[in-house]
Amino acid sequence: MLILGIESSCDETGVALYDQERGLLAHALHSQVAMHRDYGGVVPELASRDHVRRLVPLLRKALAESGRSLCEVGAIAYTQGPGLAGALLVGAAFAEALAASLGVPTVPVHHLEGHLLSPLLSARPPRFPFVALLVSGGHTQLMRVSGVGDYELLGETLDDAAGEAFDKTAKLLGLGYPGGPALSALAERGKPEAVKLPRPMLNSGDLMFSFSGLKTAVLTRVREPVPDAQGCADIARGFQDAIVEVLVKKSFAALKASGLKQLVVAGGVGANRELRRRLDAGAERRGITVYYPEFEFCTDNGAMIALAGALRLESGAVPKTAGAFAVRPRWPLAEVSG
């Protein structure tokens, strides 16, 4: 069956076509980064309006690329939450209306489930069960993934998400939005150990995280004396090293506690090169295999939503719609388990 996937939870509009037999056929993406940059962050109302403008052209593009036609679509998967309410509503309304007109079912997808399953799009996918480190702009979680819809939360952040910490710290350093990629590029030029920042909850003995204190630590460093260009790079390096060390240590602790040998890294921060370097180095020593989604599937995209929809259909466990056009801006992942 051909599944159309729609993603519109935040500032990226994603459309993809996934064939249950042949895999991903096409995906089209529009990032709103340039539009939000002037405001220093995502403006929800502008995001919703832009999703409205982009969906139809992206769908046309994906269809053309796949060589398939709309009438071949057998189901439509869309992000029902969590995310920005208005932005989610655009995708949900589009998907539900299109599905009604085609006479096909819809599959509401949890955005984080899309991220969790996205490494399955690779040529060399992991096998269930595995541990997943989910590091995005809104979430930082360690999960045990035993199968489609079978997720156990092992630990999460008590305050800021890893991506949020990157974005807020980037702002303090005068870097633009989105801050994560800019901050990590700056960190590559920083001297190791020049700026030593705290490693929050590194030795807490559990799998919880806390990142809000780190940005406060950075704040005191950028105030006085005001750092020069190299000083900023050193702070960025110190920040990145701190956050990466905590993420790496807790990921290996989660693997050890669960006795599993596969780690999946998903979400935007999974694109961070230093995180990848350190995970790979530690994994080799421990006989662990780390799986990353392709770079293009690390951040938000329609392909992971189409895939999650396809796997949900195969497993026969399609989550209940919260009612046509209803979205769930706040939606704990634990509720979709079992």
Residue 113 interacts with Zn ion (CB under 5 A)? Answer: no
Find the binding residues for ligand KG4 in span 58-117 (CB under 6 A). none
With binding defined as CB under 6 A, does residue 300 bind ligand KG4? Answer: yes
CA-wise closest residue to 233 among 205, 195, 204: 195
- Eight-state DSSP code of residue 206: S
Work out the angle between the directed axes of helices 179-187 and 273-286 (0-180°, nearest 10). 70
From candidates 14, 81, 91, 179, binder to ligand KG4 by CB under 6 A: 179
Per CB under 6 A, 181 contacts ligand KG4: yes
81 vs 333: CA distance, rounded Å? 10
**Which residue in this structure is represented by tokens 């997943």?**
132
Closer to ligand KG4 at the Cβ: 10 or 307?
10
Q: Look at residue 167 and give the partner it binds from Zn ion, ligand KG4, none, a contact being a CB closer than 5 to 8 Å depending on partner kind.
A: ligand KG4
| Residue for token pair 């995001």 | 47
Total residue length of the chain? 338
Binding-site member from 75, 300, 307, 333 for Zn ion (CB under 5 A): 300
Per-residue contact track with ligand KG4, 5 to 34, x per CB under 6 A? -----x------------------------
SS3 content of the chain, % helix, strand, coil (to 5): 50, 20, 30
Q: Point out which span in 160-168, 229-237, 303-311, 318-326 binds ligand KG4 (CB under 6 A).
A: 160-168
- The minimum distance between CB 267 and Zn ion, in angstroms, equals 6
In whole angstroms, what is the distance from residue 249 CA to residue 282 CA? 9
Check residue 163 for interaction with ligand KG4 (CB under 6 A). Answer: yes
Note whether 160 binds Zn ion by CB under 5 A.
no
Do 309 and 104 form a contact (C-beta atoms < 8 A)? no
Given 63, 299, 313, 336, the residue binding ligand KG4 (CB under 6 A): 299
- ∠ CA 195-201-207, nearest 5°, is 135
Compute the CA torsion angle 241, 10, 15, 20 (nearest 10 deg).
Answer: 70
Residues forming the site for Zn ion (CB under 5 A): 136, 300
Residues forming the site for ligand KG4 (CB under 6 A): 10, 136-138, 163, 166-167, 178-181, 184, 267-269, 271-272, 299-300
